Amino acid sequence: MPSIVAAIVGRRREAPRVRPRSVIPGRQRWDIGVVLGRPRVAELLQASLRESRGIEMVYANPATGRLLVCHDTALSRGEVDQLVRKTVALAARQAMTLTGSMPPKPGVMPSRGRRRQNTGSALVVSGGAAVALVVTRATFVRPSPLVGLGGVVVATVVVVRRAWRRSRLAQHVSAVSLRSKRHPLLQIAGSHKRQFYVASCASILVQILDMVPSILISWMAVVLITGKSAALVRLGLASVASQLWFLTGVTALASVVAAVLSFIAGVLWRDLAQSVQQEWRTEMYAHVQRVGLRYLEGERTTRIAGILTNDINQLGRFFAASADYFLKLGTSFLVLVPVFLFLTPGIAWVAFLPVPIVAWLSFSYHERSASDLATSSENVSLLNSQLVNNLEASATVKSFGAEQYEIDRIHHLSAVYRQTNRRIDKRAAAYTPTVRMCAMVSLSGILLLGGLDVLAGTLPFGVFNSLVGAPQLVLWQLPGLGDAVDQYQRTVAALGRVLDLRSLQVEPGGSGRPLDVAKVQGEMVLDGVTFAYPGRPPVLRNVSMRMAARKTTGIVGVTGAGKTTIAKLMLRFQDVESGRVLLDGLDIREVRLQDLRKAIGFVAQDAFLFDGTIDDNIRYGSFDAEPERVVSAARLAQADDFVEALPSRYDTMIGERGATLSGGQKQRLSLARAIVKSPPIVILDEATSAVDNETEAAIQRALKDFARDRTLVIIAHRLSTIRHADWIYVMDRGGVVAEEGTHHELIAREGVYASLWRLQIGEASA
């Protein structure tokens, strides 16, 4: 009971400090005590927050204990507050269950903690125990070979399982394994399964052949020391010299074949890695192109881009880097364990005694260095950004006489960085000697026990001599185990994310009633439409509108009233919840999606221009339009003047090295793009919001002809944009139509529109 109380009190004292530092819409900075000096907690916190809806970017810094969260402005301050606190508590708890106890919080500079010393002492104890066991067992009792070996196997399994469970990636791995009966690696290999099997066979053969020379060389020594080998005499090799020739020949042959096979295996694995990446990349790019916008909107672009690049590369990386390793390690065990059990059962367990110890060393080395490397890279980026910041702000620094303050700040960060790196270097330097020590201890054990058996006459000298070095083959491979298991887990976790993305539904582009775009009249009707984004209150409530064929309809309203949403519904980026959207009297859900979108030209609020020339951008979607059409569209959109003034005119590259365009210029280019497409219906969503009033008026005059036989829907918050429309809808908050009519009718009505008009006219003349 007291221990429970103590635990609770102790945990209370550990209660993490979670405090907002600065909060502005869309961006919050926090002080999170529990993250300070704990890269794993920072990593967990980052990972969990990134999974949350509405969170766009997260950065938790273990060097400063700070957290930066950028989020969708639709999330309220309170919601983010709650989310952060909940996730911090969860991450802290998760870190505790993963490590058994929280790693010590070492102040800003993560220093050598209690656990690290535990590691060292545990190592010494286990090493000492091993030696003691070997020595005492050698002279007094010999365990039954199976019991001894069983113990070694159990210890190995315990080490590997523990390391596996501690990894935060393990849960992804089990999630992926649960989803399909097929092994994740076979799922990844896909249609390249044959190559996977062939490469596997090559790796296994290479390992077997690799073991041959070391055994044959020992055999040669036996032949030299003891005279002829009876086994070889039976093969017809009577003289020592011929036996030496034979053994040398086989050794050389095995080495040559192993080298050739090893080359083939290397090529096969790398080629498999490339093919797998290529196949998944092609499939996933095509898939993402076809996924409905409604699903993509819920995802962060950087996350999807991350899956399409990093995760897909990771799918191949395991085959290129670690598959060969696992097969070779497995083969070594499968060959050596039975050989030892069969030929020298008495010393088999000693030979493999270091396996669990080296495996454990490998995992703990990998785990520690991974978290230290993470801290180190955090620290270096912190140092860099501080430096850049400092240089950019040099006028401010000098004017406040803060040079010494800045010097101290950089000095401190640099010291933190050095401290982390020192620990990484020390650990790396200690790793190999420790592994070597373990291997040597086991070798001495085999020498002693085997030697005693040889003396007692229970073990032939030839067998002893041939096998004495064999376990080293396995031991030298083991140090890479931590890294290889990590690669495997990363690969399966990446597969999980790729499969999640692949499960997003694609649009049924080709099904439905075909539509002859040339015959479209262009009347669009919203009939009692209600719509809500997932998990949000309705944006549109029972909205009815009629966009008359070959007329101009204006939609105005405050930001967030749902104007863009109406455009999305007309294009079927989203589907209505209730009500209908009709095109020429036809429910658009019945129309073939491709045709619907061919019939509508859409200039989005945030005009997007692709990397390429201005010409490429205007003819986007109408790829084979004649140059004259491109120029005349640019003229209508009032883009011609500024394009002509650019150095390479229509061939000017847009982007870093080319012209940097203003918001209004970009808008005019995307307007030109819609004009080139020349569809029967055109929706302009705030398409001229960044254009000055004069140019806007010019665009309106120019578009008159273009709009004559088309249905034009103009969405705007500036009333001058739509005042000449044939019919105007005024949207109000709450997703309802507040007023409708022509400009003059609405002014006469003295309602929302009229007061907005007065306000904007006042603004314009102010």
Residues binding Mg ion (CB under 5 A): 563-564, 605
**For ligand ADP, how many residues bind (rule: CB under 6 A)?**
13
Applying CB under 6 A, which part among 85-93, 175-183, 201-209, 553-561 lies near ligand ADP?
553-561
- Distance from C-alpha of 49 to C-alpha of 39, rounded to nearest angstrom: 15
CA distance 199 to 684: 57
**Span 30-59, contacts to ligand ADP by CB under 6 A:** none
According to the binding rule CB under 6 A, does residue 559 interact with ligand ADP? Answer: yes
Determine, following the binding rule CB under 6 A, whether residue 561 of this chain makes contact with ligand ADP.
Answer: yes
Sheet holding 540-547, edge to edge: 540-547, 524-531, 578-583, 586-587
- In the complex with ligand ADP, the residue whose CB is nearer, 66 or 563, is 563
Q: Select from 51, 297, 403, 644 the one that contacts ligand ADP (CB under 6 A).
A: 297
CB atoms within 10 A of CB 486: 18
Contact between 661 and 669 (Cβ < 8 Å): yes
68 exposure class (CB count in 10 Å sphere: 0-12, 13-18, 19+): middle
Phi first, then psi, for residue 554 (nearest 5°) are -105, 140
For ligand ADP, the binding residues in 57-96 under the rule CB under 6 A are 74
Check binding of 238 to ligand ADP (CB under 6 A): no
State which residue, 12 or 536, has the beta carbon closest to ligand ADP: 536
- Residue 262 structure tokens: 């090893």
Kind of pairing between the strands at 681-685 and 600-603: parallel
Span of 500-508, 509-517, 563-571, 647-655 interacting with ligand ADP by CB under 6 A: 563-571
| Whole-angstrom distance, CA of residue 581 vs CA of residue 578 | 10
Q: Tell me whether residue 563 or residue 723 sits nearer to Mg ion (CB atom).
A: 563
- Pinpoint the alpha helices (H) of 291-402: 293-297, 301-306, 312-321, 323-343, 348-352, 354-392, 394-399
Binding mask 533-552 for ligand ADP (x = CB under 6 A): x--x--x-------------
Q: Is 12 in the site for ligand ADP (CB under 6 A)?
A: no
Strands (E) in 418-551, as ranges, are 524-531, 540-547
291 DSSP β-pair partners: 506
Q: Of 18-26, 60-68, 559-567, 582-590, which part binds ligand ADP (CB under 6 A)?
A: 559-567
Member of 40, 563, 677, 743 binding ligand ADP (CB under 6 A)? 563
Nearest residue (CB) to ligand ADP, 379 versus 565: 565
Compute the distance between CA of residue 105 and CA of residue 13 in angstroms, rounded to an integer: 13
- Give min distance, CB of 560 to Mg ion, in A: 8
| Cβ 670 to Mg ion shortest distance, Å | 15
**Max alpha carbon distance in the chain (Å)?**
121
Residue 197 and residue 226: Cα distance in Å, rounded?
Answer: 44
554 binds ligand ADP (CB under 6 A): no
Cβ 534 to ligand ADP shortest distance, Å: 7
- The stretch near ligand ADP (CB under 6 A) out of 125-133, 210-218, 446-454, 554-562 is 554-562
Element (H, E) at 307: none
Q: Give the single-character DSSP code of 190.
A: G
Of residues 74 and 238, the one with the C-beta less far from ligand ADP: 74
- Report what 172 binds from ligand ADP, Mg ion, none; CB cut-off 5-8 Å by kind: none
CB of 717 to ligand ADP, least distance (A): 8
Residues 564-583, one symbol each (x = binds ligand ADP by CB under 6 A, - = not), give: xx------------------
Q: How far is CA 748 from the centre of its chain?
A: 58
Binding site for ligand ADP (CB under 6 A): 74, 297, 533, 536, 539, 557, 559-565
